[in-house]
């Protein structure tokens, strides 16, 4: 999994702000759009691709949950 999304979780907690989670969500959202609509057929994607985008999505959700818990949400 990308270390930059793990850093986004850390930055969200450290800053107690959701901006890092929002930036990570934008990255994952555009990546998932390209992943889904890139070939029109998901059979050309590998298991590694599914794990990467699934894990990335999970880290984004964790970032937003931690930002919401801190009380300061955009």
Percentages of the chain per state (helix, strand, coil), in multiples of 5: 80, 0, 20
Q: Are 28 and 56 in contact (CB under 8 A)?
A: yes
Range of the domain at 64: 3-70
pLDDT tens string 14-47: 877 778 888 888 888 888 787 776 655 656 667 7
Q: How confident is residue 4, by pLDDT bands cut at 50, 70 and 90?
A: low
Q: What is the rounded CA–CA span in Å between residue 36 and residue 28? A: 12
Provide the CA 63 distance to its chain's centre, in angstroms: 8
Q: Is the pLDDT of residue 1 over 70?
A: no
């Amino acid at each position: 999994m990308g270390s930059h999304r793990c850093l986004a979780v850390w930055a969200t907690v450290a800053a107690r702000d959701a901006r890092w989670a929002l930036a990570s969500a934008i990255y994952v959202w555009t990546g998932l759009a390209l992943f889904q609509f890139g070939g029109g057929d998901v059979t050309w994607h590998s298991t590694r691709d599914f794990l990467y985008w699934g894990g990335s999505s999970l880290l984004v959700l964790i970032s937003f949950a931690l930002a919401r818990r801190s009380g300061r949400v955009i």
